[in-house]
Amino acid sequence: GLTAKLNAAFKKLRGKGRLSESDIKEAMREIRLALLEADVSYKVVKDFVKSVSERCSGQDVMESLTPAQTIVKIVNEELIRLMGSENQRISISPKPPTVVMLVGLQGAGKTTNGAKLAGLFKKQGKRPLLVACDIYRPAAIKQLEVVGGQLGIPVFQMGQENPVKIAKAAIRHAQQHGNDMVFLDTAGRLHVDEALMNELKSIKAEVQPNEILLVVDAMTGQDAVNAAQSFNEWLDIDGVMLTKLDGDARGGAALSVKAVTGKPIKFIGTGEKLDMIEPFHPERMASRILGMGDVLTLIEKAEQALDQKKAAELEQKMRANKFTLADFYDQLLQIRKMGPMQDLLGMIPGMGSMKNVQVDESALGRVEAIILSMTPYERENPACLNSSRKRRIALGCGQKVEDVNRLLKQFDQMQQLMKQMNGKGKKRKLPGKMG
């Protein structure tokens, strides 16, 4: 799926240090293909990739210490921008009832999700009324009554009466019975046709709903987007409810709707059950598409904690094999600043579920204590640490000489590793720097 494809593109970048123009080009090509395969509209993909590439080829990305992460961050920000920068609510009319008209193709999920939405408002203390304006299928009225019954929400119906009359009568009924919200469940068709649009237009003209919500089935991808475009042209909708996002939805609809219609997604349906509805949050959808759990939060934390200039200096030292215990200690402090290791691990996708991963925070503390017991000279010149110095250090930090030896051995191994990497002339990661 989209998530896997995008991650494959990012993974290739992650293995590299600085990125070249052609690395970025290749990544953009893969992002473009991934989006097209996910059924995002061609024009949307084109514009999206254009703005991402423009931002990515900037000097600051190429020269940043963590170019792959910077690119993921840019893609994330552009995804959010594409879907609308914030959650959009339904505007409540100062003069009740607030009338919400649900429109959409047959099977999109109007009846179910209209009821879900009414249920959501009921939970917030509103007194909604569901209205059966789909008069063409007798089963449709029954269906609305069933879901209304399950949610404890009254349903207004007048059988096969003209839908415009039903809607007007329902609003009067709501005013008389203290229902402050009215949800009109309208008819759909398999395809957009003029008869349906004219019916919906006359309901709109007569009752002037506060909100026309278009319900679209996310699983139908490009078709959903085309439907959204037609409905918007006919009815000038206010927002979109994207349903069936629990299925194998390819994500394309979520990415295209706003760009194509200019109207925001306001709610998402995430299952058949009547409480499976959520306000749409662009930033959550973006991280869901990127499949990254809270990895972005993690990146932000790392950025805050790592002093970029210091990191650059360290890299120099490593290259020159001048990395000392003092530098090692600095790195330890940087890692510390990011917060408890347990929290950090939980943010890595896939790791969150590994409840029994134990990070030995106290081991880090012991290492810290040993280094702190050394003189600055000793930290810069670990070779001078003879047995009497080691004894003094061990006493100073309340640990054993073996502990001091173990740390020195680990540090030695780390230096060997760096030498090897330097020998190969390859880029490597700083300790504590995530890549």
Structure tokens belonging to residue 80: 């959010």
Q: Does 271 bind ligand GDP (CB under 6 A)?
A: yes
Specify the residue for token string 């329902």: 170
Give, as ranges, the residues between 364 and 423 that touch ligand GDP (CB under 6 A): none
Work out whether the CA dihedral 392, 393, 397, 399 comes out positive or negative: negative
- Which among 344, 340, 396, 400 is positioned nearest to 364, based on CA atoms? 340
Structure tokens belonging to residue 241: 């409810």
Task: Cite the beta strand spans of 65-123 per DSSP E.
Answer: 98-103
Work out how close the CB of 143 gets to ligand GDP at its nearest, in angstroms, rounded to a whole number. 6
Q: Cβ contacts of residue 66 below 8 Å, gap of 6+? A: 299, 302, 303, 433, 434, 435
Q: Binding pattern to ligand GDP, positions 95-114, x when CB under 6 A?
A: ---------x-xxxxxxxx-
Pick the piece of the chain touching ligand GDP (CB under 6 A) from 158-166, 198-206, 271-279, 284-292: 271-279
Euclidean distance between CA atoms 288 and 281, whole angstroms: 11
* Nearest to ligand GDP of 185, 238 (CB atom): 185
- Which among 133, 128, 120, 108 is positioned nearest to 274, based on CA atoms? 120
Q: Which residue is nearest to ligand GDP (CB)?
A: 269
Work out how close the CB of 76 gets to ligand GDP at its nearest, in angstroms, rounded to a whole number. 25
Helix ranges, 84-162 (H): 110-123, 138-151
Pick the piece of the chain touching Mg ion (CB under 5 A) from 68-76, 103-111, 332-340, 397-405: 103-111
The entry of Mg ion, ligand GDP, none near residue 432 (CB within 5 to 8 angstroms by kind) is none
Going by the DSSP 8-state scheme, the letter that residue 384 receives in this structure is G
Q: Which helix (H) or strand (E) holds 406?
A: helix 401-423
Q: Does 210 bind ligand GDP (CB under 6 A)?
A: no
**Of these, 111, 157, 220, 399, which contacts Mg ion (CB under 5 A)?**
111
Judge contact between 61 and 53, C-beta under 8 A.
Answer: no
Q: Does 188 bind ligand GDP (CB under 6 A)?
A: yes
Q: Binding pattern to ligand GDP, positions 242-261, x when CB under 6 A?
A: -xx-xx--------------
What residues are paired with 215 via a beta bridge? Answer: 241
User: Would the annotation count 304 as a binding residue?
Assistant: no
**Contact positions toward ligand GDP, by CB under 6 A?**
104, 106-113, 188, 215, 243-244, 246-247, 269-272, 276
Indicate the annotated binding residues for GTP.
Answer: 104-111, 185-189, 243-246
Task: Give the residues lining the site for Mg ion (CB under 5 A).
Answer: 110-111, 140
Numbered residues of the known binding site:
104-111, 185-189, 243-246
